[in-house]
Each structure stands twice: as structure tokens, then as C-alpha cells.
Structure 1
């Protein structure tokens, strides 16, 4: 029986959707997880044929043994895949160990570290100013050298989903941010980057045999509240043709420098005074509803094509339609215990609404956003124009109501 082994999955979003797609493709789906059986009940993960529970998913020796057990029981392992940090390059390394599809292990591993990727790309013109703050560095010395360059972004090297990514405008706020992050990430260096103004874009990329097979541009709407929470996505992102050509050239250089010949990634870019600046590179497809956004816009199931690359097959990325898509994520303004959420069914009845997802369960404590994980609902609409898609989605979000008990 042909099987795909997945390492880690969230309860919703891209990583969860990949399980269902693998099942639809006819594969026996194995999920290796460190979550308890209560958190991976069959009702929540009905697409999974077999769970492998491990305390430490990064225990490579045990992981190899577990996969060998599957093979001994007649499972033909066709791919090892992860869409969860920090397991992406790890899964690619397992693919190499078991002589499966050739995925760019070293490139994906480099992308998992914000510092490593900055150092690799430091000489490229799209790299903004950055510096590395080590645990024993002097804040006073930093202030003397860089005071004129505030504001800054500060983040740990392994942040994802905007978690622990902080905006600091003064040396006092920087000192507090460093103390906060060093407590959460002891003995780790911190990445400090200049903050640049300009429209921000997410670029989904799929590479096969050194050729860019898919490049999807998505404009982001960011909520700045000391953190960076993306609340809106517009697909396709609107840029001038010369700006698109410049973007393609920038991405090609990044892929060449990092050596990504087989695999997928997404980059976050800003267009600053007509020039592209690289904000981040991540070694996987973006989370949340990104696959649904692209599929509603193009008819391409990008996750399916990514899985094909991990299976050693050539991806087929032919557009079947051209729609404008707008996705709106909902956050809340106060902390509390969730009593109920209403309006999903009515929101779905709006003409043009394609998808409504409610994330939290009743009884859960929910809060104001400090990471992308604090986005609690999503509405996706598609239409012939960008303006129509946005208007439809925003109108539909008004139907969704959160009822909280202050906590």
C-alpha cells in the first residue's frame, strides 16, 4: 500500500489540508505527532489512516525506526513531508535517507533560521539593513551605533506566524523587547532589522528541477499593534509589469543563492520606493487558508502539486480560471472565555463567499492578537474584480459575532 508520512500537523490550515489532499490522491496517510490522542481524535483527523505518537518528533533514530516498522508491515513509503516548522528540512532529510524524491534539504534547513538566511543573502540588494544581537552584547554600544536608524524589528531566529516578532521605536522599548525575548529564547542571538514602509506581499513559490513552476503574488494587509498580524490577503497582488519582472528577478537570485532546486517556499517582500526588499523566507507553503485562496483564484490546488514534488513527480500548474480573491481574518479586541460564535451559515449565504472557517471551540480562552495564531475566523470571497471580492468578504464578516465571558 502506497503511503505518505507527514510529520506534525495543526488542527486547521495548510498542514491539515495536506492530509486530506494526500488521502484524495489515493495514499495511505500516516501522521507522526507529539500531540495527545485527545488532541488528534478521529473526528478531527478522519483523513489520517494511522497515527504514530512520539514524545520528540526530532528524535531521528526513533523516527527512522517507526518508518521502518511501517515498511515491514507492507507500507510502501512514497514521501516524507512536513508543512510545520521546524520539521520541514527534517522531513526532506528523511526522504533522502530512505532514497525517496530528491528535495533540497540544505536549502530548506537554511530557510528555517532567520539569521542563517540573512547571512547567506547579505550581499543581495534586496536585503535590508540588519544586525545580530548576541546574549553578551552591549545595549549601550548598540544605541551609539544605530540610534539614528530606529524603528527596528526584533525577532528570534526561529520565529514563525509573527510569533515574538516585535516592533520597537525607542531604545527603551528595544531594551524591554530584548529582555522579553531572551527569557523566552535563552542563550540565543536575536535578529534586529530595519523597519521599512511600503506595501507588503507574500509570494508562494514552487520549484522543480531548478525551474520555477509556480509564483503566486498575494498582497497582505497588516495590523500593526506592536506585533505584525496579517488580517487581509488580496490575490492576485496588483503591481506594475516592470515591478513584477523585478520581483521575479529578485526571487530567482534568492533561489539561486540558497540552492532550492526541488521544493516549495514562501517569501514576504515589501515594495519600498519602487524597489523590492526581502522581509522573510520560509521553507514551506504559508499556513492558514493560503491553498484555498490560490485555488479559488486560479483553479490550481498548489498543495497537491507540492505533494507531487515530494513524490518525485513533475507538478502541473495550469490555470483553469482567473478570479480576484479576498480573504479576511477576524481578531478580537479583548480577552475572554468563548461562549459561542454565531453567523457562519449566514456569512456563507452571501453571493461570492467561497469559504468561512471558525477556529476556536466554545469554552476556549481567546485573546487580542499577539501572533497569527490569534486569528479566530476567516472569510474568503471571489469575484471578477478585486474591489467586489473585498466588499463581499467584508460584508460577510459582519455576520460573525463572538460572545465572550471576560476572563
Structure 2
């Protein structure tokens, strides 16, 4: 059986879309996961033909033994891939080990750690001012290093989904944020960057043989009330021709600088004083609704195209026509146990709404948004203008209500 191996997945979003795409392409799908609850919910993964549990997903003898066992059972492995941090590099290493078509392994390794990629791009013009605080640096020394630089952003280098990103506007907030992150991961250094004020954009990129095959630009709407939580996505972003050209020049320069010649990634960038600055670069397509956003707008299933690239297929679907798409994510303002959700059918019935997705089940504990995982529903709308797509999505989102029992 022609087989594609996936290292990790989420229950929904781009990573799950990729598994479905592999099945649609006629491949036997194998999922390696470190999430035991997936086995309890096995019936919810009909697109996963074989699920294998490993306590730790790393490039290890245990993983290689399982791969060898698959081959002995008659599985002809054609590709290994991951759409999940931090397993993208693991999948690339595995592909390299098996002699398969693989992405730019060294570049993926650099992207996997925020301090690693910052140091590699230290002289690049898109790099903001930053400093790296060792895990054992005394608090007094840390404060001395940054006391004249507020506002600042603190990050744990190996994390995703805005879980470990904190804005500090003064010494008190910096101290509180630093101690919080150190408690969360005592052995991790802390990346401290200047806060860059401006609209943030995601650039979804697919590269083949050093040439960009796809570059979609998405404008983000960010809620700073609790953390850096993206609540809105507008695609395609409305940029002037000159601004878009400058952005693509910056993206191309970054990819060349890190030697990224094959694979997919997404960059988060802000335009600051007419200069593009790199917020982050991640070695995969964005999660959540990103694949659906692009597919609704362009007809391109980006996850499927990335799968094709993994298999060594160089074709890429072209865009025939483009609609404006807006996605609005819904969060809650208090913590509690979910009693019920209302309004999904009313929201779905609004003209222009393409999808309403609600994640949590009854009885789940919901919290205020401290990471992207604390977004509990979204509405995806499409129209001929960006303003109308946003209006429809926001109108539909107002119909959805979460009823919580306070803890």
C-alpha cells in the first residue's frame, strides 16, 4: 500500500485537512500521535487508517522501529510530513533517513526555535531589536539589560499558538511575565523583542526548487486584552501594489537567507515606518481555518498541494478567481463549565456564511483567551468585497452564545 506517514495532528484545522487530502489522493494514512485521548475518540478519525501511539514524538530508534514494522507489513512509504510544531523537523529528518523527497531540513531546524532563527537572521534588515536571556540569568541583571527598551514582548523560544507570548509595558509587567515563563519552563531561555506597532500579516508560502509557487497574504486582527490572540483573518489582504511588491521582496530575501528551497512555511510580518519587520517564521502552513480560508477564496487546497510537494510532485494548482474571505473567531470573557451553545444554525443560515465551526463539547471548561487554543468557535464568510465579508462574519458571530456555569 502506498502510504503517507503523518507525525502529529490536531483534531481539526490545516493539519487534519492534510490527512483528509492524503486520503483523497488515494494514500494509506498513518498517524503517529502522542495524544492518548485520540484513541478514545478513534471513531472521529475515519481518514486515519492506522494510528500509532508514541509517548514522545522525536527522531528516535523507537520511531524508526515502527517505520520498519510498517514496511514489513507491506506499507510502501512515499512521504513523511508534519503540520504541527515541533514535529515538522522530525518528519523532515525521517524523510531524509528513508531517502524520500524532503523539505529543506536545515532551514526547518532553524525555524523550530525562535532564538535560533533570530540569531541566524541577526543582520537581516527585517529583524527587530532583541535579546536572549539565559534561564539562569539573575532577575536584577535581566532588568538592567532591558530597562530602557519598553514596550517589549517576551517569548519562550519553542512554543506556538501565542501560548507563551507576553507584552510588557513596564518593569513590573516584565518581571511578572519573566517569572511566569520561567515557572512554566525553568530550563528555557527567554527571547525578548522590541514591540513593533502596526498591522500584522501572515504570508503563507510554498517553495519548490527555490521558487515561490504560492504566496498568500492574510491580514490579522489581534486582540491584546489578555495576550496576542488573533480573532480575525482577512484574505486576500488589501495592499497597494508597491507595498505588496516590497513585502514579497522581503519574504524572498528571508527565505534565501535561511536557505529554504523546498517546503511550506508562514511568516508573520508588520509594516513599521514603511519597513517590513519579521515577527515570526514557522515551518508549516498556519493552523486553524487557514487552509479553508485559502480554499474558499481561491479554490486551492493548500494542504493538498503541500502533500503533493512532499511526494515529489511539482505541479501546483492555479488560481482561477478570488473571493474575499473573512474569518472571525469567538472567545469567552470568563471561565466556566460549558452548559450549552446556541445560535449555530441561525449563524449558518445567514447569506454569505460558508462555515460555522464550534469546537468544545458540553461540560468542557472554557477560559479567557490566553492562547490560540482558547478560541472556541469561528465563522467563515465570503463576498465580493472585504468589507462585506467582514460584515457578514461579524453579524453571524453575534448569533453564537456560550452559556457557562461559573467554577
Give the shorter-chain TM-score range.
over 0.9
User: What corresponds to 2:187 in structure 1?
Assistant: 187
Mapped partners of 2:400, 2:43: distance in 1: 24
Q: CA deviation at 1:148?
A: 2.6
Q: CA deviation at 1:320?
A: 2.2
Deviates more, 1:13-22 or 1:37-46: 37-46
Aligned partners of 1:214 and 1:317 also within 8 Å: no
User: What corresponds to 1:317 in structure 2?
Assistant: 317
Aligned partners of 1:168 and 1:226 also within 8 Å: no
Matched, 1:65 2:58: no
Superposed counterparts of 1:252-401, under 5 Å: 252-401=252-401
User: What corresponds to 2:167 in structure 1?
Assistant: 167
User: What corresponds to 2:146 in structure 1?
Assistant: 146
User: What corresponds to 1:5 in structure 2?
Assistant: 5
Aligned partners of 2:59 and 2:94 also within 8 Å: no
Q: CA deviation at 1:139?
A: 3.7
Mapped partners of 2:22, 2:339: distance in 1: 35
Q: Taking structure 1 as reference, are residues 38 and 94 closer, same or farther at Cα in structure 2, changes over 3 Å only?
A: closer
Aligned partners of 2:59 and 2:93 also within 8 Å: no
Q: CA deviation at 1:173?
A: 1.4
Q: CA deviation at 1:138?
A: 4.0
Q: TM-score, normalised by structure 1?
A: 0.98
Q: Secondary structure at the match of 2:187?
A: coil
Q: CA deviation at 1:44?
A: 1.3
Matched, 1:127 2:127: yes
Mapped partners of 2:51, 2:38: distance in 1: 12
User: What corresponds to 2:26 in structure 1?
Assistant: 26
Structure 2, unaligned runs of 5 or more: none
Q: Secondary structure at the match of 2:300?
A: coil
User: What corresponds to 1:89 in structure 2?
Assistant: 89
Q: Secondary structure at the match of 2:312?
A: coil
Q: Secondary structure at the match of 2:250?
A: helix
Q: CA deviation at 1:52?
A: 1.0
Q: Taking structure 1 as reference, are residues 145 and 56 closer, same or farther at Cα in structure 2, changes over 3 Å only?
A: closer
Mapped partners of 1:62, 1:402: distance in 2: 43
- Write the deviation string for residues 90-147 of structure 1: whole angstroms up to 9, x where unpaired: 1011001111113111111110100000000010111110000112324434444432
- Write the deviation string for residues 262-317 of structure 1: whole angstroms up to 9, x where unpaired: 11000100011221110000000000000000111111111111111111111413
Mapped partners of 2:97, 2:136: distance in 1: 39
Q: CA deviation at 1:39?
A: 4.7
Q: CA deviation at 1:196?
A: 1.2
Q: CA deviation at 1:221?
A: 0.2
Aligned partners of 1:157 and 1:191 also within 8 Å: yes
User: What corresponds to 1:107 in structure 2?
Assistant: 107
Mapped partners of 1:307, 1:89: distance in 2: 16
Q: CA deviation at 1:226?
A: 4.0
Structure 1, unaligned runs of 5 or more: none
Mapped partners of 1:267, 1:380: distance in 2: 22
Q: TM-score, normalised by structure 2?
A: 0.98
Q: Secondary structure at the match of 2:222?
A: strand
Q: Secondary structure at the match of 2:186?
A: coil
Q: Taking structure 1 as reference, are residues 182 and 168 closer, same or farther at Cα in structure 2, changes over 3 Å only?
A: same
User: What corresponds to 2:196 in structure 1?
Assistant: 196
User: What corresponds to 1:178 in structure 2?
Assistant: 178
Tell me the matched-pair count: 407
